[in-house]
Structure 1
Amino acid sequence: MFVIFGAGGKVGNASAAALRRAGCAVRAVVRNAAQAAPLIELGCEVAIADLHDPASVARAIDGAHAVQMLCPVPRDHDDPASAMRRMIDASVDALRANPPQHVLALSDYGAEHASATGITTLFHYLETRLGTLDTRLTFLRAAEHMHNWARVLPVALAKGVLPSLHHPLDKRFPTVAAQDVGALAAQLLMDGKPPRHSPRVVSIESEQRVSVIDVARTIADLAGRTVTAHAVPREQWAAMLAGAGLGDGHARLIVDLYDAHNAGCIDVQDGVGERRFGPTTLTQALAAIVPRGAALSA
């Protein structure tokens, strides 16, 4: 049995689908019953779990051969960093009590840094805590997800301006499509060969790095309208994030992340682990979300 946490999200759904296509038994773990229907259609067993509750996690992993672990940043919490660390601790406690043969953690580029990287610091904590388990471990570190641009698409299409915290606008950085991360995770879970090193660290990004200018140009081409990249001044970041509905704690995590990103700290870790490249291009990924953004901007 393969247990996939976060199966209601883009990465987890792609992993579950790939495993089911390979004929594997899958237990898809979601936060609520509303996420269950498409996973049941895939042929998954569905479990509902609260990552803050070790007993809930323990029930979800019972009988698992391998577990794909995802701890999301709790956006609506007053202190999302503390809340995510508690989720990680609860999950690790459950995994230690009943360890599967293999645990794969969905992590981030830059997770090797213990501090000063905002949200990515939490993935360092995830890797560190999982590293205390006596089982086979894989850390799948992904570059920035292409679908994250969906958050600002309605604004970009309505105003013709794509706001970005990436500075400078012509700097190329790694990105990846969520479905490519999920597909690779499934492959790694099914890989029966023992790793040369433990934990096994695998990094994934798309075959071509992009700049914010590239992103704006691609959106413009797909939407058939003018879109210009705009670097939001550093002193305006906090106000912009607050205007988007983020609390102070979450906004600080994002500000610290982009400060680290712009300083060149969020990238593949040199000389560590394996590198893989997803086949989905930026154009292909954005083509799936630009029509929805256009409808919201209308």
Structure 2
Amino acid sequence: MILVTGATGNMGRHLVRQLREAGAAVRAVTRNASKAEGMASAGVEVAVGDLTEPAFLDRVFTGVDALFTLLEVGDPKAVLAAAKRAGVKRVVLVTSLLAQTLPNGFVGQLSLGCEQVMRDSGLPGTVLRPWEFATNTLAWADEIRGGGIVRKPSAGLPSPVIDPADVAAIAAKALLETGHEGRTYALTGPAELLPQDKIRVLSAILGRALHFEENGDPEKLEQIRLTPDQVSEGFGVCFMTSPGVLSTVENVLGRPPRTYQQWAASNANAFR
């Protein structure tokens, strides 16, 4: 049995589907049963509860031998301790590539701390460090639907955004196969993009003119300067220096990572 935390999120949904397609038994954790509608009919065991509650935490690991967990899910020490008590044999932990590129930032330090907790637990684990998710662009959806002009304080820096489905595909391999234990995978998409590049892609897919404008809000720009790692997702713009395009996804999966165009085409309805 594979326990998937964050099962109804942008990455978790892909992972649950991929694991089921591979024939694995999956228990999906969610705090909101309505978000997991359809999973049970696909043969997924849905566990509704909060991983910060000790009683639920111990109960949900019954019969589990592999775990997928995220940086922001529950208390890492408590989750991994429960996994160890249950005899879990394999863990996949998703943190952030900021552990490498901005290790002294808030997210970088949180990532490194969480990774250390897993190492200290003694559990055989694989760390996935993705860069910015393509889904961060969903922060623009209201503006695109409302008028077609996306206004943000800055256009930020080029970013090799990654489709969460690719992160899920690597997680599935690490959960189902041997040979990934002890590895740390730094993950990016196939091309560095600015917001203007993404706007051009969305314009072509939606069939209407869209525009990106910098409003230069001084208060927001100062917030960006002080905590670029904490505000990037909310703006849908990356304000941190790119790690460059990395080959890890292709090396592990044997195929190129999905492009931003592919992600946008699959999620076009969110912008309509």
1:115 counterpart residue number: 104
Contact 1:238 1:255 in 2 (8 A): no
Q: 1:267 aligns with which of 224, 243, 248?
A: 243
| TM-score normalised according to structure 2 size | 0.82
2:10 counterpart residue number: 10
1:39 counterpart residue number: 39
2:131 corresponds to 1:143: yes
Question: Aligned to 1:185, what secondary structure does the other structure show?
Answer: helix
1:224 counterpart residue number: 207
Q: From the superposition, tell whether residues 236 and 256 of structure 1 become closer, same or farther in structure 2 (CA, over 3 Å).
A: farther
Q: From the superposition, tell whether residues 146 and 166 of structure 1 become closer, same or farther in structure 2 (CA, over 3 Å).
A: farther
Unaligned runs of at least 5 residues, structure 1 = 73-83, 242-249
| TM-score normalised according to structure 1 size | 0.76
Partner AA of 2:41 in structure 1: E
Contact 1:66 1:101 in 2 (8 A): yes
Question: Aligned to 2:63, what secondary structure does the other structure show?
Answer: coil
Q: From the superposition, tell whether residues 130 and 183 of structure 1 become closer, same or farther in structure 2 (CA, over 3 Å).
A: same
Question: Aligned to 1:18, what secondary structure does the other structure show?
Answer: helix
Partner AA of 2:265 in structure 1: A
Matched-pair identity in % = 22
Deviation of the 1:105 alpha carbon? 0.6
2:80 counterpart residue number: 92
2:190 corresponds to 1:207: yes
In structure 2, how many angstroms separate the alpha carbons of the residues matched to 1:213 and 1:205? 19
Contact 1:54 1:91 in 2 (8 A): no
Contact 2:19 2:26 in 1 (8 A): yes
Count of aligned pairs between the two proteins? 262
Question: Aligned to 1:144, what secondary structure does the other structure show?
Answer: coil
Question: Aligned to 2:193, what secondary structure does the other structure show?
Answer: coil
Deviation of the 1:257 alpha carbon? 10
Detail structure 1 runs of 4+ shifted over 6 Å in the superposition.
238-241, 255-258
Q: 1:279 aligns with which of 232, 257, 265?
A: 257
Deviation of the 1:124 alpha carbon? 2.7
Question: Aligned to 2:121, what secondary structure does the other structure show?
Answer: coil
Deviation of the 1:4 alpha carbon? 0.7
Unaligned runs of at least 5 residues, structure 2 = 251-255
Deviation of the 1:181 alpha carbon? 1.3
In structure 2, how many angstroms separate the alpha carbons of the residues matched to 1:215 and 1:269? 17
Deviations 1:101-131 (A, max 9, x none): 1110112111245432x44443233222222
Deviation of the 1:252 alpha carbon? 8.7
